[in-house]
Each structure stands twice: as C-alpha cells, then as structure tokens.
Amino acid sequence: MSSVTNIFLTNNKSSSQWQNENLLQIIEDDIYIYLDKSFSSPLKNIQRAARSIEKLGVKHACLKGDLWGIDSQWAFALGFTCVGKLTNIEFTGEQTTIDTLNNKLAVYAWSRNLTNQTPSELTPLLLAKQAQDYITAQAPDCVSSRLISGDDLAKQGWVGVYNVGKGSVNPPCIVEIDYNPTDDEQAPISTCLVGKGITFDSGGYSLKASVGMFHMKCDMGGAAVVSGALALAIRQGLNKRVKLILCCAENMVSNNAYKLGDILTYKNGVSCEIANTDAEGRIVLADGLLMASENNPSMIIDAATLTGAAVLATGGDYTALFSLDEQLAEQAKQAANIESEPLWQLPLEKWHQEKCPSAFADTANSRPVPGGGPGGASNAAGFLSRFVDSKGWLHFDLAAAYNGSANDQWAAGATGLSIATIANLLLTQ
C-alpha cells in the first residue's frame, strides 16, 4: 500500500465478481467501504472495515467522497487508529466538521497514548505532571493546580491514596487542576472530575497472577479519560469552572505496603477494613470524592477501570454507569447516545453500601472472595457512595477502556471510550 490511501464510502457493489459480497472493495489504488442499507449497525461496520484497512498496511487514511458524515468518520477513526497511528487520518467535509474531528482525534490520541505508556515511564508524579501540562496547554491563562504527595497526604488526612501508594518507591500523589475561565476566584464550580490513577497494579498482598497483572499499566485509564474529557470540553468552548482531581499511586508489595486487615479512617469518619488489597481503586477514589465534595459542585463524575465484574457484565463493550441520581443518569445516557459511545447503567441502591460488611469497621473495601463475590461492580459503587452526596454524582466503571489484544473493532491498547460522553456532560451541565 502507498503511504496515503484514499478511502470512500459507497452504496454500490463492485462490478468485480470476487468483491461482490465484500465489505471492502479495492479499486485501483483506492479502497471503498460498501454500506448496505440493510446493515443494522452501520457505524460498527465502518469501524470493523477501518480495522481491516489498517491491517492491510495502510499508513495514512484520507477520507474522500460525499457520503462521509461526522459520525461515520469518527467510527472509521476509532477502528483505524492504533499504536503508532493514533492521528494518521485526513478527514473530509466542511471546515467546521474537519476541525471538530481533528480536535477530538488529538485529545483521544493523547489520552490513549498516556494509558499505553509503560509503568516505568509513567509513575504517579509523572502522570500528575503530564495531566497538568496538557490541561494547562489548552487554556494557559485559565488553569491553576496544586499537588499533594508522599507523607503530606497522610498529614492532610488523605489516607486512601497514601496507604495504597506507600509500598512503592515512587510516591503517591493527588493533583487538583482548576480550570476557571470566569476571571472570578470565587466562581462556583460546575463539576468536579475524579480519576483513578493507579499507574501499576500488582494487587498488593492480594497479589495478581501474571496473566492478570500483565496489562495493569492501564489501571490509570480513569485519570486519562477524565483528563481527556476536560481537555476536549475546553477545546469545544467550555465556559464553566471545572476541577479535575487525579488520585495517583502504584499498588506494590513491600515491607511498607498496606496489609489485609488494616483499618483506614477517612476524613468523613467512615472507617474501612482492608479485605482485599487488589480492590485499591475504590480506596483512592474515596479520597478524590471527598476532596470533590469539599468544593460543593453541582455535579461530580468519577471514572475508573474499577472492577472485573463490570467487564464480565458488559463483555468489555460498554462503559458501566452507576448513579443514585436517576435524572442525571438519564442525562448521561442521552449524552452517550449523542456521542455514539456505548454506556450501560447497572444497578445501584443505597443498600449496596452494606454489601461489604466488616466486624471491625463501618465497612470493608470488598469481600474476601474472588472478584468480590456476586454483584461486585454494584458493591464497589455502593462503597464509593459513602463518600459523596447521592444527588449529582455519576460513577463510570470503564469496562471498555482497554483491550489487551486486538479484535474486529479495536487495535490493542487504550480506546478512550467515554471521553466524549463526559465532555458532553461538562458542556451541558
């Protein structure tokens, strides 16, 4: 294949007999994606076709013709892009359409590349710095930040992030990034975003097997998604104050690591017994949700690669949504529909808070059984709900954030899914 290949959509089958039933049709040096009106999921078919085109060795795709819309071009981008080709697409249409797609592609590429970095490249402090630098670059005059790291976390009462991260030689941290375009230091905060930033997850003393640990560089995917969502919303004209809180740590085994049976007492007085050191994401997010709540925002959104149970429930094809605010959950589902991002709401009730009982504390962080037992994803969300007001809170369990190997729709690595959905919510809140 040449370095740049023209890609067309077509409603007409090729006259070449051997290509008659093919989704892809190669005519001279161009590639056509055949769209039959009977297709039930045309965007999925375009994404699959794009994945096949990338595997043909196409280095750079140039979309041509009048049939490309903004949604179909984005579906192609999701299928075609991969490690080493995260921005290798030339879009078509009106200049506003091209600009919109290029902005979106750039943000997704940054977020996906961040998630794909190795654990040695991306330690907790470096994750915080890269997010700070990227958000600041979007609007240098509107962004400020503060960083709390190492022992200062314990001194200030952020016991979750401190304890999960204290077993590593790379210190844990919380970074709070304040985007304020109002020129008013007292402006109310519309939304707080909270992201899980576990840059490597060994499982701690609840040690993962190699097969479960191999892809754990992606356990900071929540931090990458909410950072990308804020960046995308800024590029799309966000004029409200938003704070981004990233809870960053490595979950390691050492003489100083937190242990099963330890009890942590959070700033809001909730005590938590550690029943599983591999259920560390909810432990750090509790700190982030408490910090977010101190700002009295209208909405709090957290995002995390939190539970294997959500992956099992969704097949890894959807982001799992949890909320005790049904009106806000409906808004989230509408936003996901607008952005063509798969989102599925799973059960959450107040009584899910009691699903991880402890004889020694208000709650345990999980159950001492594989996967946390039945309803593991809902129980994790129930744990988080102890640290935030139920009204105005959304929890995104990013079951579709990363693929360990390629499939018919995605290359291996981070997907960036839910960035556009959360950005939409920031803009419409």
Residue type, 21: E
- Candidates 65, 1, 59, 56; CA nearest to 23 is 56
Alpha carbon distance 36, 156 (integer Å): 60
- The number of C-alpha atoms within 13 Å of 60 and in the hemisphere containing its C-beta is 8
Rounded to 5°, the CA angle 235-44-10 comes to 95
Assess contact for 102 and 223: CB atoms under 8 A.
no
Which two structure tokens, joined as six digits, stand for 72? 């179909």
Secondary structure class of 111 (helix, strand, coil):
helix
- Is residue 208 annotated as a catalytic residue, yes or no? yes
Q: What share of the chain is helix, strand, coil (3-state, %, to 5)?
A: 40, 20, 40
Active-site annotation holder among 64, 208, 267, 333: 208
Contact status, residue 135 vs residue 220, Cβ threshold 8 Å: no
C-alpha span between 7 and 50 (Å, rounded): 9
- Residue 282 a catalytic site member: yes
Spot the catalytic one: 104, 282, 355, 386: 282
| Alpha-carbon gap, residue 88 to 107, rounded angstroms | 14
For 80, left (φ over 0), alpha (ψ -120 to 50), or beta? alpha
Active site residues: 208, 282
